[in-house]
Structure 1
Amino acid sequence: MAHCDASRFDGVTLGIDFGTTNTVLSLATTDGATAVLSTEKDGVEIAGYRSILCFWQDRETGKRVVESGPWAMNAFVNAPHSTRMLQSFKTFAASRSFTDTPVFGHRFRFEDILQTFLDTIAAKLGDRLPPRGNRVVIGRPVVFAGSSPDDALAMERYEKAFRAFGFTDLHYAYEPVAAAYFYAQELKNESTVLVADFGGGTSDFSIVRFEVGANGLTFAPLSQTGLGIAGDTFDYRIIDHAISPLLGKGGQYRSFGKKLTVPNHYYASFARWNTLFLMNTPATIRELTELARQAVEPEPLEHFINLIENDYGYEIYRAVSDLKVRLSSEMVSDFRFKADDFEIRTEIARSDFESWIADDVHQIEQSVGQAVFRAGLQSGDIDHVFLTGGTSFVPAIRRSFEQLFPTASVSSSNQFDSIANGLALIGQTDDLARWTVAL
C-alpha cells in the first residue's frame, strides 16, 4: 500500500484533464489545496475549457489565426463559411487511420492539433500557468475511443504534443483513478470505492480500496475498465433517431429503374462530432447532390446538404446537448433548430431517449461488472459509488448504478473538476509510480 499523507513534491503541480468535450486544468500546492484555472469571457469565469479549435485567415495579412474554447465558438458562429472548426479531436488520438487534416494549406497531425490547443490555452492563462518545468500529471482514459484504438499510438502522440509545448516533468494517470484520489480526500473510514468517469468519448471505471491506519489513509487500486461509449454516443442516438430521418435518412432514390435506400454512412458520419467536420468536402457534396437529384423526396436531402455545406453541425450539436440536459429533469422536451429557411422541430420524450440508449447502458453495466470481477469482489463489497462527468446527470445512468449496487451510497459532485483536481493532487505525492501509468 502507498500513503496519501507522505511528504509531497515541493512545488506547485498541474493536473490536466484533456477531454473530448471539455478540458480542465487544476493546480495543487504542498498543503493539499487545489484551484481550477479558469478563464474569463464577457465577465463570466469559465472552468471547463471547450476542446475545440477554430481557424481562419486574417483578411489583411492572410496569416492563419486560431482560437479555442468559447472564443472559437464565437468565431465559428460569426463566420461559419470562412472558418475551419475542429472538435472532439481527442477521439482521433488512438486512430491509425487518422494521419492529418488540412487547415488553410497546412496539414495538422494529431499532435499538432493538441499542441496548438495547449498554446491557445496558455495564451489566455498567461503567468497563471505554472513554469513548464513543474510537475504535470495528465489524465488518460482506460480505453481510448474508436473501433480499434491503438493505446500506444495515442500515448506517443500525447507525449510528442505535451513535450513540444514545453512540459518536461510529465506523468500520466488513468482518469477514473484521479477521480478516486480526489474523492478519497473526503473519506473518514476505510471504504471500497467505485469511480465511474463519463467523458465525451469514453466511460472509465476504477475500483480502489482505501484503508485507515496508523499512518493515515492508505490505498490500493484494485481494477480499471473502460469502453468507448459516453456522452457523444448518447448525442449520436438522438441525432440518429430523431433528426437524421428528417434529413433524408431512410429515404429512397432511383437508380437504373430501381428504388434504393440512401446510404446510411453519410448519416453515421453526420451524427458524430469527430467525423462531422470531415464531411464538408467537394467529393461528399457531389455525391449527396447526385443522390438528391435522383431522390424520390429530394427536399430532405437538400436540407442535409445545406447543413453540411454551411457548417451548421456545431449548432445542431449544441441544440442536442441542451436537449439532453433538459431530459435529465423533464419527461418531455422540444427540440428546435433553424437554419436559413429550414427548421427542425420535434418533441422527444425521456422514455424514447432511454430506449435509444438502452443497449449503450447495458454495455456500460457489463464493463462495470468486469471491473468488479477483476477486483475479485461482489457488488455488495462496494461501499461507495462516485459518478463524475456530464453523462452522470442522465437519470438512466444513475438508476443503473443504484440497481447494480443497492447497498452502496451513490453520489456525484464536482462532475467537471474532480479529475483535474485529482491529477494535480497526485502530482504532490511521493509515490507517483503507484498512481501513474507508464507510456
Structure 2
Amino acid sequence: MGKKRVSYFYDQEMPLVYFGSAHPMKPHRLKLTHHLILNYGLHKRLDCFNPKPADPGVMSEYFHDEEYVQFLRKITPDNGRQHAANIQRFNVGGTADCPVFEGLFEFNQITSGASIDGAVQLCLDMYDIAINWSGGFHHAHKAEAAGFCYINDIVLAIVELLKVHARVLYVDIDVHHGDGVEEAFYTSDRVMTFSLHKYGDFFPGTGSNREKGAKAGDGYSLNCPLNNGISDEKYFDQLFKPIFDKIMEVFQPSAIVLQCGADSLAADRLGTLNLTTKGHATMVQYVKSKSIPTLVLGGGGYTIRNVARVWCYETAVLVDKPDICDDIPYHDYYEYFAPTYKLHLKPENMTDLNSKSDIDNIRTDLLQQLKGLRGAPSVAMHQVPPLFHRMEEKDAEKDQEEDLHADVRPKKKRGRKSKKQHEAELYDGVD
C-alpha cells in the first residue's frame, strides 16, 4: 500500500464563528485542531487549501430547496422580524438548536465549499484522501435546519462524487444518527449509508435497524442502534469491521465519505459512548486501508479539547504518522489540554449497556440485510454532467473574454478556486 496523497482544507475565519455563549457548538475547536496539526508537523505531509465558498445556486441545484437557501442568505440577528413567517417553517432562529448568528450563511458556504472541493479533487484523481474537519453537518434536511446543521455539505459532496463514481458509501461514526444524509438517498441504490449511533430517547430519534431504505434503495440504508457506554473493542471488532467488510464485498463502492463526529468519544459534553482517541481512529485507519478515494469530514463533538485531540490524531493516521508523541507539544493553545497535556484519551468509568446478545442481534440483522441485496448495482451509461470546478472555470473564461472586449478597464475578479496555502499562511496565532 503506497503513500497516500492527502489534501486538507482550513479557513482561518471559521473558528471565529460564534453560535452563542450557551450553545454547545464551538467552531473554535477547528483552531485547536489546526494548531495541533501544525505543531506536530503533520501539515508537511499534507497539501493545505483555503476553500472557496459554495455557490448558493449549487446548494439548491444539488439538494436544498431554493427558497430555504435564499432565506439563509437573508436572515441575520437584526432582521428576524422581517422573516418571522419562515422562522418556524425552516426551524432557524426560533430554537436553541439552530440559532441565527452573525455570518451564518458565509459559515455554511465555507464548510460546504470545502466538502465539494474535496469531492472534486477525488473525482479528478488529484488526491486519494481529502480532509475537511469543518464539514460533516449530517442533520440538515432539504428545507429545514436541525441539530446545529443548516446546509448538508455531505449530501452536496456525495452528489458531486456521483458524477464520476457509480457507487458511493457513506459511513457515519458520530454519536447521532446521520438522518439527513440517509433521508436524501433513501430511495437510491447508488449511495449506501452506514451509521453507528446512540438510539432511543436521543436526538434525532431515528436510526432503528428497521430503517433500511425504500424503492430502489431498499436495503441500502444500514443502521447500528447503540446503548450507552460501548467500548472500542466491541464497537470495532463486533460491529464496524464485520459489517464494513460485508459492505465492501456486496456494494463495491468506488468512493467513500467518512463522517468522524467526535461526540462518540468518552467524556463528550453531549455524547454517551465510551470510545478513546485510538479506538475512534481505528475506523479511520480501517477505511483508509481499503485504498478507495475517501472524503473525511468532521461532525459533532462538544468537549472541544477532545475534538482537537482525535481529529489531530486521525490526521496523523491518514498521513501515515500514527506514532506521534502522546505528550502534546507546547503551543499557543497548550492550556486547553490541562491537566494531562496528553493526546490520547482513556475510557471513562461507565457501565456498558450494550449486551452481547444486543450486539450479536444487530450484527446478524445487518449482515443478513446485506446478504439479501442483489449485488453491486449497475449504472446505465449516460453523459456525465461537468464537475463543479469545471463549470466555474468556464464561467471565469467567459468573464475574462467579456473583459477583453469591454470598453472599460477589466475588473479584478475574486478567485473562485480553492487556494493552495504556503506554510507561512497556515499560522493564525492567538485571538
Relative to the length of structure 2, the TM-score reads 0.27
Greater share of residues in strand: 1
TM-score between both structures, scaled by the size of structure 1: 0.27
Higher relative contact order (CA 8 A, sep 6+): 1
Q: Of the two, which has the highest radius of gyration?
A: 1
